């Protein structure tokens, strides 16, 4: 399509302006993070204070919080993705009574806000002694991820080649064999996307770990950051450095695997 040079130039201006609006706040936090953390440090006169990251890591106990975050994220990703593959396989390739019902049942979970069920969940988890454990923080997120994951995997399995499944089955392969040896290997991109999204949502989650670990023993990185904000009273440099540390793992994954993130978040949303 032909467009004038003027329009093209205007487009570049718009692109740059919007990119700056997005990147501006990121730049602000980065500038703060490498700035001097106190007046006495400022007198030394260096421009970049990279030591802020090390200090924030130690003062904010981020090594501990990051470890918790990684543990919780691993549990959620492994369990939720496995369960979603199995359930999506059943809903996507098998015809059975109630399959529509179950599909809508899972779909319901995508929309239910956490706030709706977190209150009774906390009190019930407390009475069975699951609060303040990694499982207490992981289980609700596993349930939420399964709702989306089952929906996502069902979509993938429905689009997978029927002919291939039939052929394998005629060769005498059981349904489990078909799943693990044919569908899962071909479906690696779809599964990778699901893994990444589940990881990101779990890493970034705030309300569930806040409520499920009232004594702070299972504090994840975003929670650690929120508490660091009130705890560290001397200035903003270390807080900014901590914020970057918390965001970094997901942002790095995003930069390298951005197609998966964007595709997942766009297509995952497109309901039938």
Partner 1 sequence: MSSAVKTDRSATARSGRLTRPWVPFAYLAPALLLYGLFLLVPLGRAAQFSFFEWDGLGASTFVGLDNYVAIVQDEQLREAFWHALVLIFFYAVLPLIIGLVLAAILTRANVRGMGFFRTIIFLPQVIAMVVVAVIWRQIYAPDGPLNGLLRLVGLDSLTTAWLGDYTWTLPAVGLIGTWVSTGLVTVLLMAGMAKVPRDLYEAARLDGAGAVREFFSITLPSVRGEITVALTLTIVAALKTFDLVYVTTRGGPGTSTTVPSYEVYRRAFELGEVGAAAAVGIVLTIIVFSINAVVNRIGEKK
Partner 2 sequence: MKRNTRLASMAIGSAALLLGLAACAPGTGQGDDAPESDGPISTDISGVGETTLTVWDQEVRGGQNEQIEQLNAAFEEKYPNVTIDRVSQAFDDLNTTLRLALTDTDAPDVVQANNGRNTMGAFVEAGQLRALDDYADAYGWTDRYTESILQYSTYSEDAAVFGDGNLYGLPQVGEVVGVFYSKSKLSELGLDVPADWSEFDDALATAKSAGETPMLLGNIEQWPALHVFGPLQAGYVDAEEITNLGLGNSGASWATPENVEAASAMQSWVDSGYFNSGANGTDYDAAWQSLAAGDGVFLIGGSWLAADLADAMGDDLGFFVPAIGDGSLATTGGTGLPFTITSAAENTDVAAAYIDFITSDSAMEIIAETGNLPVNRTAELAPTSGVLADVYSAFGEVTENGSLLPYLDYATPTFGETLGQSLQDLLDGRVTPEEFTEALEADYADFVESNE
Residues 37-66 that bind partner 2 (CB under 8 A): 38-39
- Token pair of 103 as six digits: 């599909």
Instruction: Please report which helix (H) or strand (E) contains residue 59, including its range.
Output: helix 51-59
- Which of 20, 214, 258, 265 touches partner 2 (CB under 8 A)? 214
Nearer of residues 3 and 233 to partner 2, judged by Cβ:
233
Q: CA–CA separation, 243 vs 52, rounded Å?
A: 12
Q: CA–CA separation, 241 vs 159, rounded Å?
A: 44
Per-position x/- string for 221-260, each x denoting binding to partner 2 as judged by CB under 8 A, each - no binding: -----xx-xxxxxxx-------------------------
Whole-number minimum distance, CB 26 to partner 2, in Å? 21
Whole-number minimum distance, CB 155 to partner 1, in Å? 14
Got the DSSP string for 235-249? -SHHHHHHHHHHHHH
**Which of 204, 165, 192 lies closest to 85, judged by CA?**
192
Judge contact between 84 and 153, C-beta under 8 A.
yes
- Which of 18, 217, 258, 259 touches partner 2 (CB under 8 A)? 217
Nearer of residues 103 and 261 to partner 2, judged by Cβ:
103
Query: Interface with partner 2 by CB under 8 A: which range of 27-35, 81-89, 197-205, 214-222?
Result: 214-222
Binding to partner 2 in span 107-136, by CB under 8 A: 120, 122-123, 126-127, 129, 131-132
Q: CA–CA separation, 170 vs 166, rounded Å?
A: 6
- Look at residue 231 and give the partner it binds from partner 2, partner 1, none, a contact being a CB closer than 5 to 8 Å depending on partner kind: partner 2
Nearer of residues 36 and 264 to partner 2, judged by Cβ:
36
Q: CA–CA separation, 203 vs 5, rounded Å?
A: 45
Nearer of residues 191 and 221 to partner 1, judged by Cβ:
221
Binding residues for partner 2, total number by CB under 8 A: 29
Q: CA–CA separation, 220 vs 245, rounded Å?
A: 13
Q: CA–CA separation, 85 vs 153, rounded Å?
A: 6
Q: CA–CA separation, 90 vs 153, rounded Å?
A: 10
Q: Which residues bind partner 2 (CB under 8 A)?
A: 38-39, 97-98, 100-101, 105, 120, 122-123, 126-127, 129, 131-132, 211, 214-217, 226-227, 229-235
């Amino acid at each position: 399509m032909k467009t004038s040079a003027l329009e093209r130039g205007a487009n570049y201006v718009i692109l740059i302006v919007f990119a700056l609006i997005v990147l501006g706040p990121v730049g602000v936090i980065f500038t703060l993070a490498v700035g001097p953390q106190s007046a006495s440090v400022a007198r030394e006169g260096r421009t970049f204070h990279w030591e802020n990251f090390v200090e924030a890591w130690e003062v904010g106990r981020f090594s501990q919080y990051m470890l918790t975050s990684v543990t919780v994220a691993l549990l959620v990703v492994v369990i939720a993705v496995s369960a979603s593959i199995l359930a999506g396989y059943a809903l996507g390739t098998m015809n059975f009574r109630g399959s529509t019902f179950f599909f809508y049942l899972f779909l319901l979970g995508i929309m239910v806000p956490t706030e709706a069920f977190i209150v009774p969940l906390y009190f019930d988890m407390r009475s069975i002694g699951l609060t303040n454990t990694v499982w207490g923080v992981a289980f609700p997120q596993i349930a939420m991820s399964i709702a989306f994951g089952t929906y996502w995997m069902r979509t993938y399995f429905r689009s997978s080649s029927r002919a291939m499944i039939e052929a394998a089955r005629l060769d005498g392969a059981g349904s489990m064999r078909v799943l693990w040896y044919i569908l899962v290997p071909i479906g690696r991109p779809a599964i990778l996307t699901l893994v990444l999204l589940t990881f990101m949502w779990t890493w970034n989650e705030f309300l569930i770990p806040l409520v499920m670990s009232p004594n702070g023993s299972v504090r994840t990185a975003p929670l650690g950051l929120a508490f660091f904000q009130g705890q560290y009273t001397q200035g903003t440099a270390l807080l900014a450095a901590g914020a970057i540390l918390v965001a970094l793992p997901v942002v790095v994954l995003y930069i390298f695997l951005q197609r998966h993130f964007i595709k997942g978040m766009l297509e995952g949303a497109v309901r039938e």
